[in-house]
Amino acid sequence: MLRESWALWNPGSVIHVGAEAEVSSGSWIGMPAILKRRVPRSYRHPILEKKLSKQRIYAEARIISRLNENGVPSPKLLAMDPDEGWLIMSEVQGPTLLAALRRGMEGELEMALGKSLRSVHSKGISHGDLTTLNAIVSDSGVVLIDYGLGRLVAETEHFGLDLHSLHECLSAHHSDRKNAMHNVIEGYLQNPDSDAFDGKSVVDRFESIRGRVRYHA
Ligand SMILES: Nc1ncnc2c1ncn2[C@@H]1O[C@H](COP(=O)(O)OP(=O)(O)OP(=O)(O)O)[C@@H](O)[C@H]1O
Ligand SMILES: [Mg+2]
């Protein structure tokens, strides 16, 4: 690890140990920050493991940098070492969307999620793993995080798949909120003149993916 980087990082506590990553809070030159470190999976060949880990760190770093450049609210990239499989980004303050929805937090959260997803898609970026745990309800709206499976040059199919994975998550974990997906789509289709992005085609593609999945289930 770069020694200079570690001198700037002041560790706090581990906040999440997932299947692929260990996430800790702390501070970077005094600013609240998050360290995401990929955890090697022992069942994968070490060379494949290193390649995958590097790819995901790169994908996440490139995507959040692109979003930062384009003014889309997202964590800011502060430091990274793809060879060692870690990155440090700014902390987005607020509860996860999962926690906010479970608490029955008032407000048009699902519409805000749809709007945020559209802003990301309109920059040509797909998320790749969209769930209510990968979104934070902050003062500047719903901010998406965890772009390790995202794509910078995404196609309509990838955008439709983002809506589909969100739909599966909402059906599985938030089944009490009957209009959730409807609200997400409403937010997604709002302000169609504010960018050159064809949101309607993405929603149509989502419907056809949903049909395909139902047919094969
Ligand atoms: N920039 C951030 N600001 C605030 N909280 C964050 C941030 N990044 C991650 N977190 C918190 O850590 C949790 C896990 O982070 P993340 O989703 O990036 O990792 P993961 O799901 O383990 O990753 P992967 O899917 O790549 O294995 C999030 O659900 C969120 O609560
Ligand atoms: Mg995640």
Count of structural domains within the chain: 2
Question: Which residues line ion ligand 2, judged by CB < 5 Å?
Answer: 134, 146
Closest CA to 75 of 148, 152, 162, 146: 146
Query: In a mutational test of the pocket of ligand 1, which residue from 13, 36, 38 has the highest number of ligand atoms less than 8 Å from its CB?
Result: 36
Average pLDDT over residues 161-189: 95
Closest CA to 132 of 106, 107, 168: 168
Per-residue pLDDT at 2 exceeds 60? no
φ, ψ for residue 69 (rounded to 5)? -60, -35
Ligand 1 atom closest to 20 (CA): 27
DSSP state of 126: B
Per-residue pLDDT at 98 exceeds 60? yes
Residues 199, 188: contact at Cβ < 8 Å? yes
Predicted confidence (pLDDT) per residue in 63-87, tens digit: 999 999 999 999 999 999 998 899 9
User: In whole angstroms, what is the distance from residue 180 CA to residue 208 CA?
Assistant: 19
Decide which of 90, 109, 139 is a domain's last residue.
Answer: 90
Per-residue pLDDT at 217 exceeds 90? no
CATH number (domain holding residue 175)? 1.10.510.10
Predicted confidence (pLDDT) per residue in 112-123, tens digit: 999 999 999 999
Residues 6+ apart with CB under 8 A from 104: none
**Do 46 and 137 share a structural domain?**
no
Tell me which ligand sits closest to the C-alpha of residue 146. Answer: 1
CB environment 42-66: b (16+ within 10 A), e (fewer): eeeeeeebbebbbebbebbbebbeb
**Do 58 and 104 share a structural domain?**
no
* Interval between CA 203 and ligand 2 midpoint (Å): 24
**Do 78 and 13 share a structural domain?**
yes
Q: Who lines ligand 1 at CB under 6 A?
A: 15-16, 18-21, 23, 34, 36, 75, 89, 91-92, 96, 129, 133-134, 136, 145-146, 148
Query: What is the span of the domain harbouring residue 86?
Result: 3-90
Nearest CA to ligand 1 atom 31: 96
Per-residue pLDDT at 39 exceeds 90? no
In the residue annotation, 81 being an active-site residue is answered as no
Residues 6+ apart with CB under 8 A from 74: 64, 67, 68, 92, 120, 143, 144, 145
Q: Could you tell me if residue 199 is left (phi over 0), alpha (psi between -120 and 50 degrees) or otherwise beta? A: alpha
**Do 209 and 129 share a structural domain?**
yes
Q: Which of 83, 129, 146, 176 does the annotation list as catalytic?
A: 129
HSE, CB side, 13 Å, CA atoms: give it for residue 142.
30
**Do 103 and 209 share a structural domain?**
yes
Decide which of 90, 123, 156 is a domain's last residue.
Answer: 90
Ligand 1 atom closest to 56 (CA): 26
**Do 82 and 106 share a structural domain?**
no
pLDDT of residue 3: 60
